[in-house]
Amino acid sequence: QVQLVESGGGLVQAGGSLRLSCAASGRTFSTYAMGWFRQAPGKEREFVAAMGWNGANTRYADYVKGRFTISRDNAKNTVYLRMNSLKPEDTAVYYCAAEDTFQDIVLLTTTAYDYWGQGTQVTVSS
């Protein structure tokens, strides 16, 4: 069992930046694949970014590629999402997710993850 707590959301103007954090507790964080997803009102939860064990294996959704960066600090049991050049369409609740994996892989779908945080709101004003 692992518990995830996101933080760092808020209100920002278009073009601005935020860094989300997701602190994990409970079990060995270093063997978990991690992901960030988001859900806007009236829409389904969608993939944003994912990372394998050691941080070298990453994937991004096309709509955030070049603007968002996922990273992790296994010593701090924390995964981050740095978001630059934010757009109004990035407005959503952002969730981090974790899954214990037996190899260094990235997971891209909501159904692949067993553990989820409570979410943090990101609002981008135009």
Strands 120-125 and 10-13: parallel
Residue 71's Cβ-side half-sphere holds a number of Cα atoms within 13 Å equal to 9
| pLDDT tops 80 at residue 26 | no
| pLDDT tops 90 at residue 83 | yes
Structure tokens at 31: 């063997």
Chain mean pLDDT for the chain: 95
**CA–CA distance, 113 with 14 (Å, rounded to integer):** 31
Q: Say what the pLDDT of residue 86 is.
A: 98
Residue carrying structure tokens 């004003």: 125
